[in-house]
Structure 1
Amino acid sequence: MSDNRLGDALAAQRAAEVRRAARALLRRPLLRAGGSHADDFRLVRQHATELRTWFERNTGWALLVDSEVARLRRIPGRADDSTHPARDQRTGLPFSRRRYVLVCLCLAVLERAEQQVALGRLAEQVVLAAADPALDAAGVEFGLGDREQRTDLVAVVRLLLEWGVLTKVAGDEGAFLKSAGDALYDVDRRVLAVLLVARRGPSTVLADGFGERLAELNAEVLPDSDELRNRALRHSLTRRLLDDPVVYLEGLTENESAYLTSQRGALTRRIGELTGLVPEVRAEGLAMVDPDDDLTDLRMPESGTDGHVALLVAEYLAGSGGSIPLADLHQRVAGWAVEHAGFWRRSSTTPGAEVELAEQAVERLVALGLLECAVGPDGAALVRPRPALDRYRVGDAVLLEPGQSAPRKSAKAMAGRTKGTRNR
């Protein structure tokens, strides 16, 4: 009997370790042997075989693990999802088009660099690379004389430091920004080698438009049997359930919708066993909710001014009954700024601040699958509630008689808050 209990305890411990390792990979698809996430790396390496099997079978994502890095080659469920932008490490603002171009140019330069590189030297090489006629024709310019452009380069370097491509040896990016100094970095070639996630080399993509090039970059071979088609559907839907806060049936193809309807229990059970995510279901779709709330890059609700604005906007729109003009939402936020002036940051009551506050809240709620933006017949911008927003509807207070039980909440209310990070 004691042997059985010991075996059960060991099995439970192993399952818990595998879950922790899987969650670590979903939070950070690239882990290094050293640094602040070394414990996660060791756990992933210890259970690499089981994790590799699960991800390949259920998502089609390959897992590379060696003595230096663990890399989950996480191809997104949707190529048109723009809700996971790279962000400035200091301000949290999303990257601009130029910064994305600079990321690619920096990586190209680092591929040919020595084991160490100075920020000034990196900047000079990026300027030369940016002089490519194709970039000039696309309207991309970069030079060191403009402080704004130098700021863009520093933001990219800080992102590469976060990813582990670069490790600081000496100096400071701020000094470079002020033209008062430089910084020196080690280049981690192993991280650099596994950073790109694509089914084919970018240089082999022949399409012209951005959307077409992106689709071709990760295009899969069309399956030619029922078994392969079902596997492709399983991969696609599992990726969506891990990536997206809410998967709506209206956003799926007919085949995906049919497969999700028939295989929902099996899909959610497998995901739940590996990750601990819990399914919440309603007629419109499905969400995988994280009880621990640490597999998300956007939280709802969240503290601070921006978090409070987002919550107020969610409550207001959940009870609106339909679309409202974005301009009306600006006015509503301006009123809240006065009402909550003692709790919000000082700049919130500055004329015009309500526009930024409202639009940041809308951006957050769209990313969480709670709102969608549209254009009205008159060309005005509209915001429209989605079904998952019902979770934030404020109902009427109910006075209970002594001994009376509170009304039960629907088990089918969507959470709309799990959103896996996608650091590629």
Structure 2
Amino acid sequence: MSSPVSATTAAHDALERRQAARLLLAAPVLTAHRHPGDLALVRRHAPALRSVFSRMLGYQLVTESSFARLVKTPAGGDTPARHTTTAGFAPQTSALFCLACAALLAPGTGEQVLISSFIEQIRADAATAGIALDDSQAQRRQLVTAIGLLIDWGVLTETDGTLTGWSERHEEALLSIHRPLLPHLLARPLGEIGRLEDLWAAPGPASEEPRRSLRRKLVENPLVRREDLSEPERDVLSRERNDLARLLEEHFGLLLEVRAEGALAYAGDGPASDIEFPGPGTVRQAALLLIDALLQRDGPPSQPLGPSPGLRCTWPEVDAALGELAAAHGRAWSSLHTGDPDRLRSDVVRLLTAMSLAGADEEGLVLHPAAARYRPVVRASAPTRAAARLTAERPESAALFGDTWTTATENAS
């Protein structure tokens, strides 16, 4: 029989492995410079994590003394494993990113590089490749985005000066290169990359096993819509739901929730996503309050996006709701958004679609029934009941569209 001490140690190790696995899912590149504690945790459990990621998800984990890199494969079909750091990458930006990677590997490049020299090398390589670059503001923003991702992922470190200083004031900056990580940054050689998604996802097998692809979709997405599942995946979700829930909780600490419209896997003991929502900041607060404002509209739900149920809201309705919210909260919100309604709407919609809580088309926004999980509820404070605040509740039954998804999640105002 195992002793109480060994049992406690085993339980602690299992908890750490689940935490480390979720860290890697949210941030597939961890470096000693930016994430020393997280990297130490991953390296401590690297053998077990490599086995779990390979068996459960078909992912490859590379660990070295100064970094950890989780190489993901597509979540199923043509859908890549999501990573929000790259959300909004235009084809031109992805081309600049590839050129930046190539420039760092150019002969004669040392351990540090001036940002002006780095940019010159990118422009020279672009000219050689027949890619037209100019010095316009839009082109500069794309360069900043591409180089900023290399900084975010730890390939580059701002040693003296900043990328922002170069972008806004043409100030020089010295960048240090973390060379050991660079060969592992992309999931495949540059010559094999034909589209943006290929940058981050390793090629998957021609015929994917539905259990594995379903697990990938559940751990990578805030919400998996039922219509986005293949028929074999829906069959696995229906027939093997209990086994699936056990495996997700055992290896990743994720709790599985299944409803008529889809499924989600969420962590009960900490964050599990690279998207913070609800949370602080103008965009997150506006998105949370917009959900409530739109759900208070009169009228029955519709089915505007194929078989998925949802609540259609026209763009004028969305703009009117956001305008009212901006007027009410303008003093607390960023002037960059309150002074630019188009930017506010664009950023809010991008957040809601990234969370799979909404879809957008030319006519308007379509809220998924799961959005009701995040609906704030006004509750009077005891004993005077004079002060009301936005808070979270777990109602036993608060269905938005009949007996479907209920508002049952923790929330924050």
Question: Do Structure 1 and Structure 2 share a fold, with TM-score over 0.5?
Answer: yes
Deviation at 1:85, TM superposition (A): 4.5
For residues 365 and 171 of structure 2, what CA distance do their matches in structure 1 show? Answer: 47
Superposition pairs of residues 91-110 of structure 1, within 5 angstroms: 94-110=88-104
- Between 1:120-129 and 1:359-368, the stretch displaced more is 359-368
Match of 1:159 in 2: 149
1:413 and 2:413 correspond: no
For residues 162 and 395 of structure 2, what CA distance do their matches in structure 1 show? Answer: 59
Task: Answer whether contact 1:287 1:414 (CA < 8 A) is retained.
Answer: no
Shift of the 94–234 alpha-carbon distance from structure 1 to 2, 3 Å rule, reads same
Deviation at 1:80, TM superposition (A): 4.2
For residues 353 and 406 of structure 2, what CA distance do their matches in structure 1 show? Answer: 18
Match of 1:111 in 2: 105
- Measured against aligned partners, the alpha-carbon deviations of 1:285-316 in whole angstroms (never above 9, x if no partner) come to 21111234522232332233322221122123
Task: Answer whether contact 2:294 2:321 (CA < 8 A) is retained.
Answer: no
1:337 and 2:330 correspond: no
5+ long unaligned stretches in structure 1: 88-92, 136-140, 224-228, 376-380, 398-405, 419-424
Structure 1 SS opposite 2:364: strand
Please, what TM-score do these two structures have when normalized by structure 1?
0.77
Match of 1:266 in 2: 243
- Which of 114, 119, 122 is residue 123 of structure 1 equivalent to? 119
Question: Alignment identity in percent?
Answer: 30
- Measured against aligned partners, the alpha-carbon deviations of 1:80-130 in whole angstroms (never above 9, x if no partner) come to 46974436xxxxx94444332221110011122333322121111111112
Deviation at 1:5, TM superposition (A): 1.1
Match of 2:360 in 1: 373
- Which of 201, 204, 207 is residue 220 of structure 1 equivalent to? 204
For residues 315 and 203 of structure 1, what CA distance do their matches in structure 2 show? Answer: 47
- Which of 175, 179, 184 is residue 185 of structure 1 equivalent to? 175
Task: Answer whether contact 1:31 1:40 (CA < 8 A) is retained.
Answer: yes
Deviation at 1:159, TM superposition (A): 2.6
Shift of the 60–332 alpha-carbon distance from structure 1 to 2, 3 Å rule, reads same
Deviation at 1:59, TM superposition (A): 0.3
Structure 1 SS opposite 2:65: coil
- Which of 41, 49, 52 is residue 50 of structure 2 equivalent to? 52
Task: Answer whether contact 1:300 1:417 (CA < 8 A) is retained.
Answer: no
- Between 1:47-56 and 1:354-363, the stretch displaced more is 354-363
Structure of higher RCO (CA pairs closer than 8 Å, 6+ residues apart): 1
For residues 166 and 158 of structure 1, what CA distance do their matches in structure 2 show? Answer: 9
Structure 1 SS opposite 2:278: coil
For residues 295 and 42 of structure 1, what CA distance do their matches in structure 2 show? Answer: 19
What letter matches 1:388 in structure 2? A
Shift of the 293–330 alpha-carbon distance from structure 1 to 2, 3 Å rule, reads farther
Please, what TM-score do these two structures have when normalized by structure 2?
0.79
> How many residue pairs were aligned?
377
Match of 1:401 in 2: none
- Measured against aligned partners, the alpha-carbon deviations of 1:310-363 in whole angstroms (never above 9, x if no partner) come to 11221233344331211221122212322334443456654xx33332332222
Shift of the 68–272 alpha-carbon distance from structure 1 to 2, 3 Å rule, reads same
For residues 327 and 159 of structure 2, what CA distance do their matches in structure 1 show? Answer: 48
Task: Answer whether contact 1:25 1:72 (CA < 8 A) is retained.
Answer: yes
- Measured against aligned partners, the alpha-carbon deviations of 1:184-225 in whole angstroms (never above 9, x if no partner) come to 233222110110114xx44246x7xx48x959x8543334xx
Structure 1 SS opposite 2:274: coil
Task: Answer whether contact 1:116 1:187 (CA < 8 A) is retained.
Answer: yes
Match of 1:382 in 2: 364
What letter matches 2:95 in structure 1? V
Shift of the 61–337 alpha-carbon distance from structure 1 to 2, 3 Å rule, reads same
Match of 2:258 in 1: 281
Task: Answer whether contact 1:246 1:416 (CA < 8 A) is retained.
Answer: no
Superposition pairs of residues 80-95 of structure 1, within 5 angstroms: 80=79, 84-86=83-85, 94-95=88-89
Task: Answer whether contact 1:388 1:416 (CA < 8 A) is retained.
Answer: no
Structure 2 SS opposite 1:413: coil
Match of 1:256 in 2: 233
For residues 120 and 337 of structure 2, what CA distance do their matches in structure 1 show? Answer: 40
Structure 1 SS opposite 2:366: strand
- Measured against aligned partners, the alpha-carbon deviations of 1:236-276 in whole angstroms (never above 9, x if no partner) come to 11110111111122111111111121122212211111222
